[in-house]
């Protein structure tokens, strides 16, 4: 933070005549808080571009401004409430939104506390959020001393947090919309104290008086005195702990299934940051702008809560608003001169035109999610989502220690590794993965079982290459590099359908390194029957909690692609495969994982299958004594002793020569 010196304070006090005029007005009780549409458009405030008619309707609903609604607004609201077919495609707003507004205004609310804005891609969600956030900042400034108003310690700063999966997303999207709206707004110019890529601070009139008081005592505070703060934070940020927030915005929250720096789900992020709003009471704001994704996670839960009814048919959470619009929904009627009151828009950012019709025809199910803003269904889900999520949680190792996994940059000589690559067939992802096994005793009965631990994975996405053509020479280089770092990799296999791409050259390259890598490169041939057997084994393995992995960042907005692939696997006609539509239509990482689990846990599966056979065996109740010690079979060893010896031998043999745990 910049150090405030005597000279800089004098500049603040003497060089901001406009600021003092506004400060005097606030002390006299003159509060320049217009309605939100005037605030957004008027030259004295944000001086923003002209809002589209339905954007105005949306903002007025959010701020409960029924007194400013026109006949057109009411007609649009009626259309939206009737369009929300709970049994089909949902387009519109909560059907009882007007009743909610009546309740909130009667109970002292100035706006909906929680707004879930589910709009298709490029539907202006961030722009609406920028206006809402700027309006909340302005309301605080017009209080003169917001800390006094909300009974908060005067030294405590007030925050608006823009939360995203990673810091780049946090800075580039919703926070950028908010910061640009404020920085470009004429009304905010006297108040801006500091502006950075991820941080924007404003001084209240009370802040200026505090600086003057310090100056009078010849003090030089080393911290920035500007108590209204806007900050971009990641889903793993601890910045909200202990902070007082007046608003929280969750950017693309439906895609925030896990953070990139650790295993924080959207629910954990939400529960960690929203208590910061408590001191603002009914004036706190939660804004959730997101395109839809899968019906898994906190975003979908909020969406459902915004329409939930109690046993009497009343809203369970009346302070929540939900809007669900297609990409072009906020811009409809842009070319109607009656609706625009004679204003002529040059064009509409989104419209349902020939290009949209073509997109819908080509990929109707993808269009339904990304443009029509309908949630993706996980039909015939093969795996239990809870079991999948547990796979990424910390686990207890053989020494009883809690282990939280992260990607490994190189292997250990004491560990034997196994890898698999699933090359793309045509313009699809290529994925590779490396893992190992650890023998861990069961916490209940102490019996030892092998567990698979994933150390490294990578995805090569054709979208990152010119003409969507993956560079297989680059993949070869990457595989040589990673295998040289995991020098004790025993087997690295390829899917049969793409093995011809890199297998021969990779073998040659690994023999040329010094010292030569002794990994066995092989092609695995899979059939429909073997694929199903492998999938069933994997399903059993995660059910037994034998598989552990870190979360990758190859999915949408830095989420875990492996987690989403596993959750979207479906079983149809005796086959487990990826979905043909929806936001996740790949299975390359999940295929790699299933191959590794199937091959590394062979001992576990043999033991389970043996138990199953013995458990289903019929006992010969007519045979006295069961096993007869006086009539041993050929060789002099009884069946019981054979089974006992076999089990003892297997339990004494570490898989693949591994003699100690891998971590």
The ranges assigned to domains in the chain are: 6-360, 385-604
Looking at 148-152, 256-260, 302-306, which range is the least confident one? 256-260
pLDDT for 540 equals 92
* Residue 663 in this model has a pLDDT that exceeds 80: no
Residue that has been written with the tokens 């295929």 in this structure: 591
Q: CB-side exposure of 382: number of CA atoms within 13 Å?
A: 25
pLDDT band at 638 (very low <50, low <70, confident <90, very high): low
Coil, strand, or helix at residue 262? coil
pLDDT band at 557 (very low <50, low <70, confident <90, very high): low
pLDDT for 628 equals 41
Find the mean pLDDT for residues 78-88.
79
| CATH of segment(s) 385-604 | 3.30.420.240
* pTM for this entry: 0.63
Q: Let me know if 261 is exposed, middle or buried by CB neighbors in 10 A (0-12, 13-18, 19+).
A: middle
Highest-scoring range by mean pLDDT, 159-163, 515-519, 657-661: 159-163
Residue that has been written with the tokens 């990929």 in this structure: 363
pLDDT for 446 equals 82
Whole-number average pLDDT of the chain: 84
Which residue in 611, 594, 659, 614 sits closest to 447, CA to CA? 611
* Residue 89 in this model has a pLDDT that exceeds 60: yes
CA-CA distance, 110 to 55, in Å (whole number)? 19
Neighbours of 7 (CB within 10 A): 8
Q: Are 147 and 153 in contact (CB under 8 A)?
A: yes
Looking at 37-41, 167-171, 534-538, 648-652, which range is the least confident one? 648-652
Is the pLDDT higher at 65 or at 623?
65
pLDDT for 35 equals 96
Looking at 117-121, 265-269, 416-420, 592-596, which range is the least confident one? 265-269
Which residue in 410, 456, 455 sits closest to 437, CA to CA? 455
**Superfamily of the domain at 6-360:** P-loop containing nucleotide triphosphate hydrolases (3.40.50.300)
- In tens, the pLDDT along 188-245 reads 999 999 999 999 999 999 999 999 988 888 887 788 999 999 999 887 666 666 689 9
Q: Are 295 and 36 in contact (CB under 8 A)?
A: no
* Residue 481 in this model has a pLDDT that exceeds 80: yes
Q: CB-side exposure of 140: number of CA atoms within 13 Å?
A: 32
* Residue 286 in this model has a pLDDT that exceeds 80: yes
- In tens, the pLDDT along 349-391 reads 999 999 999 988 888 878 888 899 988 777 678 998 889 999 9
CA-CA distance, 277 to 284, in Å (whole number)? 6
- Scored b (16 or more CB within 10 A) or e, 134-171 reads bbbbbbbbbbbbbbeebebeeeebbbbbbbbbbbebbb
* Residue 262 in this model has a pLDDT that exceeds 60: no
pLDDT for 525 equals 85
Which residue in 161, 116, 147, 160 sits closest to 279, CA to CA? 147
Over pLDDT 70: what percentage of the chain?
Answer: 82
Q: Are 321 and 287 in contact (CB under 8 A)?
A: no
Q: Are 112 and 97 in contact (CB under 8 A)?
A: no
| The token pair that represents 94 in the structure block | 């909560």
Task: For 273-391, list the strands marked E by DSSP.
Answer: 285-290, 320-325
Over pLDDT 90: what percentage of the chain?
Answer: 54
Q: Are 136 and 246 in contact (CB under 8 A)?
A: yes
Q: Are 367 and 287 in contact (CB under 8 A)?
A: no
Q: Are 58 and 330 in contact (CB under 8 A)?
A: yes
- In tens, the pLDDT along 120-148 reads 999 999 999 999 999 999 999 999 999 99
């Amino acid at each position: 933070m910049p150090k405030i010196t005597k000279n800089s304070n004098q500049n603040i006090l003497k060089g901001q005549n406009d600021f003092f005029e506004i400060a005097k007005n606030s002390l006299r009780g003159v509060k320049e808080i217009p309605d939100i549409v005037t605030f957004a458009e008027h030259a004295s405030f944000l001086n923003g571009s002209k809002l589209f008619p339905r954007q105005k309707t949306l903002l007025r609903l959010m701020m409960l401004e029924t007194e400013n609604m026109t006949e057109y607004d009411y007609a649009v609201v009626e259309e939206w409430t009737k369009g929300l077919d709970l049994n089909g495609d949902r387009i519109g707003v909560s059907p009882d939104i007007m009743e909610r507004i009546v309740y909130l205004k009667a109970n002292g609310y100035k706006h909906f506390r929680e707004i879930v804005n589910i709009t298709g891609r490029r539907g202006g969600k961030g722009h609406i959020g920028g206006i809402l956030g700027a309006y909340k900042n302005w309301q605080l400034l017009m209080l003169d001393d917001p800390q006094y108003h909300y009974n908060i310690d005067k030294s405590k700063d007030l925050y608006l947090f823009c939360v995203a999966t990673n810091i780049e997303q946090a800075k580039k999207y919703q926070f950028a919309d908010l910061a640009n709206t404020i920085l470009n707004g004429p009304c905010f110019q006297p108040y801006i104290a500091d502006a950075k890529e991820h941080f924007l601070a404003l001084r209240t009139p009370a802040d200026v008086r505090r600086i003057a008081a310090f100056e009078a005592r010849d003090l030089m505070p080393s911290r920035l005195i500007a108590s209204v703060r806007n900050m971009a934070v990641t889903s793993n940020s601890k910045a909200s702990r202990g902070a007082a927030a007046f608003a929280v915005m969750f950017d693309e929250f439906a895609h925030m299934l896990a953070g990139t720096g650790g295993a924080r789900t959207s629910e954990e992020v939400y529960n960690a940051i929203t208590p910061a709003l408590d001191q603002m009471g009914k004036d706190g704001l939660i804004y959730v702008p997101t395109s839809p994704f899968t019906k898994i996670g906190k975003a979908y839960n909020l969406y459902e809560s915004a329409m939930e009814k109690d046993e009497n048919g009343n809203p369970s959470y009346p302070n929540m608003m939900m809007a669900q619009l297609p990409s072009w929904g906020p811009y409809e009627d842009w070319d109607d001169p009656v609706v625009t009151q004679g204003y002529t828009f040059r064009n509409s950012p989104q419209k349902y035109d020939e290009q949209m019709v073509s997109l819908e025809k080509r990929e109707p199910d993808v269009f339904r999610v990304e443009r029509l803003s309908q949630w993706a269904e996980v039909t015939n889900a093969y795996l239990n989502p809870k079991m999948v999520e547990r796979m990424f949680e910390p686990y207890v190792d053989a020494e009883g220690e809690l282990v939280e996994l992260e990607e490994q940059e190189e292997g250990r000589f004491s560990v034997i590794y196994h890898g698999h690559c699933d090359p793309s067939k045509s313009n699809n992802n290529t994925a590779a993965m490396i893992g190992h096994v650890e023998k861990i005793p069961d916490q209940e009965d102490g019996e030892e079982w092998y567990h698979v631990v994933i150390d490294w994975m990578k995805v090569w996405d054709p979208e990152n290459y010119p003409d969507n053509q993956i560079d297989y020479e680059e993949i070869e280089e990457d595989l040589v590099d990673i295998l040289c770092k995991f020098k004790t990799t025993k087997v690295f296999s390829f899917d049969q359908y793409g093995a011809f791409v890199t297998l021969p050259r990779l073998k040659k390259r690994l023999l040329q390194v010094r010292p030569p890598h002794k990994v066995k490169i092989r092609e695995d041939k899979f059939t429909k029957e073997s694929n199903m057997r492998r999938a069933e084994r994997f399903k059993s393995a995660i059910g037994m909690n034998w598989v552990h992995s870190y979360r990758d960042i190859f999915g949408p907005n830095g989420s875990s692609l492996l987690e989403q692939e596993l959750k979207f696997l479906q079983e149809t006609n005796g086959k487990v495969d990826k979905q043909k539509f929806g936001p996740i239509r790949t299975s390359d990482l999940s295929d790699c994982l299933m191959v590794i689990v199937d091959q590394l846990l062979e001992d576990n599966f043999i033991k389970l299958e043996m138990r199953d056979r013995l458990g289903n065996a019929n006992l010969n109740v007519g045979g006295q004594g069961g096993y007869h010690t006086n009539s041993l079979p050929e060789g002099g060893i009884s069946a019981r002793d054979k089974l006992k010896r076999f089990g003892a031998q297997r339990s004494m043999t570490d898989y693949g020569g591994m003699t100690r745990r891998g971590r």
